[in-house]
Amino acid sequence: MVSYVGKRLLALIPVLIGVTILVFSIMHLSPGDPAQIILGPKATAESVKQLRHELGLDLPVYQQYFRWITNVLAGDWGRSIQMKMEVLPLVLDRFGATFILTLASALISIVGGVLFGIIAAAKKYSFWDRFLMFLVLVGFCMPVFWFGILLQIQFGLKLDWLPISGMHSPGKTGFVDMLPYLILPAVSLSAGTGAVIARMTRSSMLEVLGQDYIRTARAKGMKEQKVIYKHALKNAFIPILTVIGMQVGFLLAGAVLVEMVFSWPGIGTLMVKGIQARDFPLVQGIILFVATSYVVINLLVDLIYAYLDPRIKYK
């Protein structure tokens, strides 16, 4: 087990190096010049050139890469070109907000999705099955930004139950203060993922329910509820977990749109702004961080599988 984890951690290194090379080349090869953008259209060519020099952008790209990567390894993630702040604290701070949002909507979509899926599978081809699956498709089809705006108008403005945007009341911090702010963005982010999980749960439950040992259990006169919860769900859970693992990546990324709609101070808004401003150090830092956390989360998911399913062996 320990050596397996060690091996897996080692395997992360080439992936992360690949990610850094990819993000670096994408940022540097795409059109747009951070110096021009930061100085605005009104700047003179001379001052743009000087700023490029100050930022080290006039060096060959590979030199810039090595300079950046050695600094990163030494713990210096550079300073955002546009925000003028150090990248690492900024990224850590904003990632926290995204993580809370992602976690909340993962919980909502897993609980909701698995529940819907089980009910639909248990009552296969009944009205409830059709109704829930219809609902799930509606959820899937609603673009997060559109759904989010509707929720704001309904629950924030008309009913006045929940705050509309932001993460805290002005000047406050803390978990309790944040909760009401979290609900609407988390719900609108979870609709799509929840739909995928619900469908996968239903289909893998149906699969398992059709297998011989379930028939045997039923034939022995076991209660239907016990069949579903004791035998079927356990075996159906593995494919569901796979989907959940994949969806975490989508949640992290899909959070961008939700963050923009709800002014959630997460990493997604920071990233879009960074890309627009060609803020190289910032975007590179964000991607490196997000990619690392993505691979770590997937490693955890894999370890959970191994824990759940003794058939999986470590190589």
Partner 1 sequence: MADMNIQVTQHTVPKKKAGPWAQTWRRFSRDKAALVGAVLLGIVILLAVLAPFLPLDDPNAVNLAKRLQPPGTDGHLLGTDELGRDMLSRLIWGGRISVSIGFFAVGIAVVFGTILGLIAGYFQKFFDTVIMRFMDILMAFPYVLLAISIIAALGPGLINTMIAVSVVGIPYYARIVRGSTLTFREMEFVMAERAIGASHFHIIFWHILPNCLPPLIVAVSLDVGWMILAASGMSFLGLGAQPPLAEWGVMLSEGRKFIRMAPHVSLLPGLALFCVVLAMNLIGDGLRDALDPKTKV
Partner 2 sequence: MKRIPKALLAVSLTVAAFMAGCSNEPAEPEKQPAQTEQTSSGEKVIVVGLQAEPTSFDAHQISDYNTSRAAMEIYDQLVQFKDESTELEPDLAEKWDVSDNGLEYTFYLKKDVKFHDGTPLNAEAVKFSIDRQIDPKHPYHETGTFAYADFTFGMVDHVEVVDPYTVKIVLKEPFAPFLSNLAMHAASIVSPEAVKKYGKDFSKHPVGTGPFKFESWTPGVEAVLVKNPDYFKGAPKVDKLIFKPITEDQTRLTELESGSIDMIVNIPPDDLERLRADANLQVLEQPGMHVWWTAFNTQKKPFNDVKVRQAINYAINKESIVNNILHGTGELANSPVPPTVWGHNATLKNYEYNPEKAKQLLAEAGYPNGFEVTYWVPESGSGMQQPATMAAAIQADLAAVGIKVNIQTLEWGTYLDKVFQPKEKMDMDMHQMSWVGDNGDPDNFLYAMFSSEQWPTAGFNDSFYKNETVDKLLKEARTTLDKQKRTQMYEEAQQIIMEEAPWIVLDHEKQIVAANQKIKNFKLHPTGVFRFANVDVE
* Residue 164 engages partner 1 in binding (rule: CB under 8 A): no
In the complex, minimum distance from the CB of residue 130 to partner 2, in angstroms, rounded to a whole number: 28
Query: 262 near 184, Cβ under 8 Å?
Result: yes
Q: Where in 213-242 is the site for partner 2 (CB under 8 A)?
A: 229-230, 233-234, 237
Exactly one of 122, 209, 228, 270 binds partner 1 (CB under 8 A); that residue is 209
Q: Which does 187 bind (CB under 5 to 8 A by kind): partner 1, partner 2, none?
A: none
Minimal distance in Å, beta carbon 90 to partner 2? 7
**H or E element in which residue 238 lies:** helix 233-262
d(CA 310, CA 117): 25
| Shortest Cβ 78–partner 1 spacing (Å) | 18
CB of 153 to partner 1, least distance (A): 7
Nearer to partner 1, 163 or 268 (CB): 268
Residues 6+ apart with CB under 8 A from 234: none
Q: Residue 15 binds what, of partner 1, partner 2, none (CB under 5 to 8 Å, by partner type)?
A: partner 1
Min CB(61)–partner 1 separation in Å: 14
The window from 87-95, 110-118, 175-183, 289-297 that contacts partner 1 (CB under 8 A) reads 289-297
Is there binding between residue 94 and partner 2 (CB under 8 A)?
A: yes
Tell me if 270 contacts partner 1 by CB under 8 A. no
- Taking residue 293's Cβ as centre, other Cβ atoms within 10 Å add up to 17
User: According to the 3-state scheme, what is the secondary structure of the chain?
Assistant: CHHHHHHHHHHHHHHHHHHHHHHHHHHHHCCCCHHHHHHCCCCCHHHHHHHHHHCCCCCCHHHHHHHHHHHHHCCCCCECCCCCCEHHHHHHHHHHHHHHHHHHHHHHHHHHHHHHHHHHHHCCCCHHHHHHHHHHHHHHHCCHHHHHHHHHHHHHHHCCCCCCCCCCCCCCCCHHHHHHHHHHHHHHHHHHHHHHHHHHHHHHHHHHHCCHHHHHHHHCCCCHHHHHHHHHHHHHHHHHHHHHHHHHHHHHHHHHHHHHHHCCCCHHHHHHHHHHCCCHHHHHHHHHHHHHHHHHHHHHHHHHHHHHCCCCCCC
The partner in contact with residue 27, picked from partner 2, partner 1, none with C-beta cut-offs of 5 to 8 angstroms by kind, is: partner 1
- Report the nearest approach of partner 1 to the CB of residue 232 (Å): 12
For partner 1, which stretch binds (CB under 8 A), given 86-94, 172-180, 182-190, 248-256?
248-256
Task: Determine if 291 is a binding residue for partner 1 (CB under 8 A).
Answer: yes
Helices (H), 40-86: 45-54, 61-73
State yes or no: residue 222 binds partner 1 (CB under 8 A).
no
Please choose which of partner 1, partner 2, none residue 46 contacts, taking the beta carbon within 5 to 8 angstroms, the exact cut-off set by kind: partner 2
Tell me the per-residue interface mask from 163 to 202 with partner 2, x by CB under 8 A, - otherwise: xxxxxx-xx-x-----------------------------
Q: Smallest gap, in angstroms, from Cβ of residue 272 to partner 1? A: 7
CB of 14 to partner 1, least distance (A): 6
Among 24, 68, 77, 262, indicate the residue that binds partner 2 (CB under 8 A).
262
